[in-house]
Structure 1
């Protein structure tokens, strides 16, 4: 069994690659960008992973369903309603079904399992908690949901802090902990370490299990040099006082991962990372084509086989 701790757009490529190379794969996706909008419970990262594994993800956007239509959004705009968060019509159906199940008392993990089976996804997708956790940012305009900051405000506001609302009271999903415990390998995807991976590894039971298995944990850097392969990872790291570099990634994960995959071009960080007691593996970490996803997945699996 292999468990992947993942975000959304920055993680779905390695999730796809692993799903094609591993028989028994578990994905624990980020839940802290979940948001209530228009009376619907929307789970962007869970859905990106689900759509990606189902082969229906809009790869151009990196989210949503390919070839979707947007009649709902056009009508919302015409009616003068909030339309800053784009929802496709097929995507809307999924949000509606999820919300109905939740309102009936079903858990998020139950609904996620139901949806992935309906979309013929063989990989288990297990939220780390069924409780609502959300990443929020403090800005000069006040405290807001990460989606409001990133999508509605175009990431233009200055941030002074990033926090996980509800993390203290959230009950961890026991199955997620059990999957990590029973995995021969745990991979931390190259998602945003602060907004995507951070909420998952901040759950005490998850973190404790990762700490106990750190020699079996491989993290993939989301950075090449001091720049993110995609998304605002570099910016968020700087806000939280973490060096924006592979060394910063190594420092952030040092208590839960003994192995780090970095770009083949990041030689300058090797010595500092090794001083943290972390094993370094260098290869191409940019996945532009489907074949790149499989190549990186096989590379990581070979790390384990050679250990």
Structure 2
């Protein structure tokens, strides 16, 4: 059994690859980017993982359902609504059902499990927590929700800090703790360390479980050199005083990761990461297509066995 800590766009490729090679897989999904919009509870990272594993993800955009229409969004704009966050018509069905179930007393885990079953997904997909944990970004324009920063303002404001509202009171889903404890290996996907993995490891009980199982945790760098493969990771890392390199990511994970995968081109960072008491593996971490997803997944699984 393997468990993966995951965000959305930066994680789904590796998760798809792993799903082709492992029959017993659990995905722990970030909830920090969840947001209430138009009266609906939207969970972008959870949905990206579900859509990706179901084979319906719009891979060109990296989010939403392929072939979706946007008539509802167009009508919202006509009515003067602040429609800065794009939701497709079929995608909205997901949010309608989720919101209805949550308001009727169901947990986010129960909703996610139902959707996973409806899509006939073999892997378990578990929200890190049922309670709301919200990633807030401190910027030169003031404090804002992560989605406002990245979507509404296109990631342009200067970032001065990051906070995970609700994390201090939230507890991890018990299924998450059990998955980490019982897994042969725990993989930290090449997601944004601050905005995707950060809200997950901000849960004290979850982080402690990872610390206790450090030797079986392997992380994949989301950076090649000083550049993120996807998204604004570097901007967030600098705001937290982290070096914008694989070393900075390793330092952020140092207390709960025992193995670290970097790009072959980043060999110069290996000794500094090893100094953090991590075993370092070098490989091609770029995933440009489905073959690359399976290749990297297989490479990681082989490293785990050694």
Give the TM-score category using the shorter length. over 0.9
Give 3-state SS (helix, strand or coil) of 2:148's partner. Answer: helix
Residue 5 of structure 2 aligns to a residue whose secondary structure is strand
Deviation of residue 90 (structure 1)?
A: 0.4
2:30 aligns to what? 30
Aligned Cα RMSD in Å? 0.7
Equivalent residue for 1:56?
A: 56
1:287, distance to aligned residue in structure 2 (A): 0.4
Instruction: State the distance in 1 between where 2:216 and 2:267 align.
Output: 24
- In the alignment, does 2:156 pair up with 1:174? no
Determine the structure 1 residue equivalent to 2:19: 19
1:70 aligned to 2:53? Answer: no
Hey, what's the Cα distance between the residues in 1 that align with 2:249 and 2:161? 18
Aligned counterparts of 1:255 and 1:47: Cα–Cα separation in 2: 29
**Which deviations, in whole Å up to 9, do the C-alpha atoms of 1:103-136 show, x marking residues without a partner?**
0000000000001111121110011110001100
Q: Match for residue 261 of structure 1?
A: 261
- Structure 2 SS opposite 1:75: helix
Q: Is the 8 A contact 2:192 2:233 kept in 1?
A: yes
1:127-166 pair list within 5 angstroms: 127-166=127-166
5+ residue gaps, structure 1, are none
Q: Which residue in 1 is equivalent to 2:299? A: 299
| Structure 1 residue 140 displacement after superposition | 2.6
Using the size of structure 2 for normalisation, the TM-score is 0.99
Shift of residue 219, structure 1, vs aligned partner: 0.1
Quote the residue 1:236 is aligned against: 236
Distance 1:230 1:161 in 2: 20
Deviates more, 1:13-22 or 1:134-143: 134-143
CA distance in 1, matches of 2:139, 2:248: 24
1:36 counterpart SS class = strand
Offset at residue 40 of structure 1 (A) = 0.1
* In structure 2, C-alpha distance between the alignment counterparts of 1:198 and 1:91, rounded to whole Å: 26
The 2-side partners of 1:264 and 1:24 are apart by 29
TM-score, with normalisation over the residues of structure 1?
0.98
Q: Distance in 1 between matches of 2:171 and 2:180?
A: 16
Shift of 1:157: 1.2
1:276 aligns with 2:276: yes
* 1:6 aligned residue: 6
Q: State the number of aligned residues.
A: 306
- CA positional deviation for 1:172: 1.7
Q: Is 2:114 the partner of 1:114?
A: yes
Report the Cα offset of residue 171 of structure 1. Answer: 2.2
In the alignment, which residue of structure 2 is the partner of 1:44?
A: 44
- Residue 82 of structure 1 and its aligned partner are, at CA, apart by 1.3
Structure 2 unaligned regions, length at least 5 = none
Q: Distance in 2 between matches of 1:140 and 1:293?
A: 38
Confirm or deny: 8 A CA contact 2:171 2:205 kept in the other structure.
no
